[in-house]
Copies of this chain bind each other. A is one copy, B any other.
Amino acid sequence: MSDERHLNALRLLEEKPEMTQRELAAALGVSVGAANYCLKALVEKGWVKLENFQRSKTKARYLYVLTPSGLAGKARLTTAFLKRKLQEHERLSAEIRLLQEEAQRSNL
């Protein structure tokens, strides 16, 4: 389930690898710590590689680059989520109908 977080991060980073952890956090709607946590997981899986950016050898700033297996993983997650989301979409339609009935029955 936290795969959704990972997929979203991958999407953002693929499009803009020079993103800051704070930017990423904001885009994901979570705290900086959470973004870092997520990023660390992606790096440990070998899906994202840290490259130094800004010519100093320090780790002041990174590029977060998707590795080949990161791209593959992203593709896999994408199809998996597409499937899930379609189901969820259907479920949601049913639930909305139900809620509307119930709201009406309670005179709202």
Chain A residues with CB under 8 Å of chain B are 11, 71, 74-75, 78-79, 81-82, 85-86, 88-89, 92-93, 95-96, 99-100, 102-103, 106, 108
Q: How far is the CA of A27 from the CA of B108 in the complex (A)?
A: 26
- Name the residue of chain B whose CB is nearest to the CB of A86: B96
Q: How far is the CA of A83 from the CA of B30 in the complex (A)?
A: 23
Q: How far is the CA of A86 from the CA of B78 in the complex (A)?
A: 24
Q: How far is the CA of A11 from the CA of B95 in the complex (A)?
A: 12
In the complex, which of the residues B11, B75, B79, B102 contacts A78, with contact meaning CB atoms closer than 8 Å?
B102
* A103: B residues at CB distance < 8 A: 75, 78-79, 82
* A93: B residues at CB distance < 8 A: 89
Q: How far is the CB of A76 from chain B (nearest CB, A)?
A: 9
Centre residue among A11, A82, A96, A99 by max chain B CB count within 10 A? A99
